[in-house]
């Protein structure tokens, strides 16, 4: 977690909280990428493990289980770095190919850290484009992606909260 921004960790904390406590309506109203992340967590991580997870733990879990592609990360470099105070952006290069995507970085405690929020927003747009192209619903696409990744069918109870928050 040495190289990941606090904003990224905070986003993963939201995923954990939504996975544990969000009701059907809350989940259905999430952005496509957030819905995917939360439902993937609910489908893949056992409740007892999820209960004790922090955002940091969830990010590490995602990385260790290739939800964040290690292969892509290894082949990724950055170029054309632009500094703007405590923020920076850089064009992403995968292998020898320049992409149109930029990674965002934030300086925290005098260290540059990768801020995944913009990447998640870009992923959301890509998922929406895929939904439009395939003519399916967000839920259909998300379920098929989760089932392909896990090898198991998504339960209809995935929309229900795993725990009830105590007042």
Retrieve residue 73's tokens. 């990360």
pLDDT tens digits, 119-132: 899 889 999 999 99
Q: What are the domain boundaries of the chain?
A: 6-159
At 74 the pLDDT is: 62
Out of 64-68, 131-135, 141-145, 154-158, pick the least confident. Answer: 64-68
pLDDT tens digits, 7-28: 999 999 999 999 999 999 999 9
Q: Reply yes or no on whether the pLDDT at 69 is more than 90.
A: no
pLDDT tens digits, 87-98: 999 998 888 888
| CA distances (Å), origin 107, targets 3, 78, 88, 114, 121 | 10, 17, 8, 9, 20
Retrieve residue 77's tokens. 């470099």
Mean pLDDT over all residues of the chain?
91
What lies within 8 Å, CB to CB, of 111 at 6+ separation is: 2
């Amino acid at each position: 977690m040495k190289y990941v921004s606090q904003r990224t960790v905070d986003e993963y904390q939201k995923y954990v909280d939504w996975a544990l406590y969000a009701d059907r309506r809350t989940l259905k109203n999430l952005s496509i990428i957030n819905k995917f992340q939360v439902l993937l967590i609910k489908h893949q991580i056992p409740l007892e493990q999820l209960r004790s997870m922090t955002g940091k733990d969830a990010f590490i879990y995602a990385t260790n289980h290739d939800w964040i592609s290690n292969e892509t990360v290894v082949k990724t470099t950055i170029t054309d770095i632009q500094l703007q105070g405590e923020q920076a952006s850089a064009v992403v290069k995968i292998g020898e190919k320049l992409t149109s995507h930029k990674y965002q970085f934030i300086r925290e405690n005098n260290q540059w850290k990768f801020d995944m929020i913009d990447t998640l927003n870009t992923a959301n747009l890509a998922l929406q484009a895929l939904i439009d192209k395939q003519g399916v619903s967000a839920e259909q696409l998300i379920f098929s992606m989760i089932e392909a990744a896990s090898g198991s069918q998504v339960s209809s109870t995935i929309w229900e909260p795993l725990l009830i928050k105590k007042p």
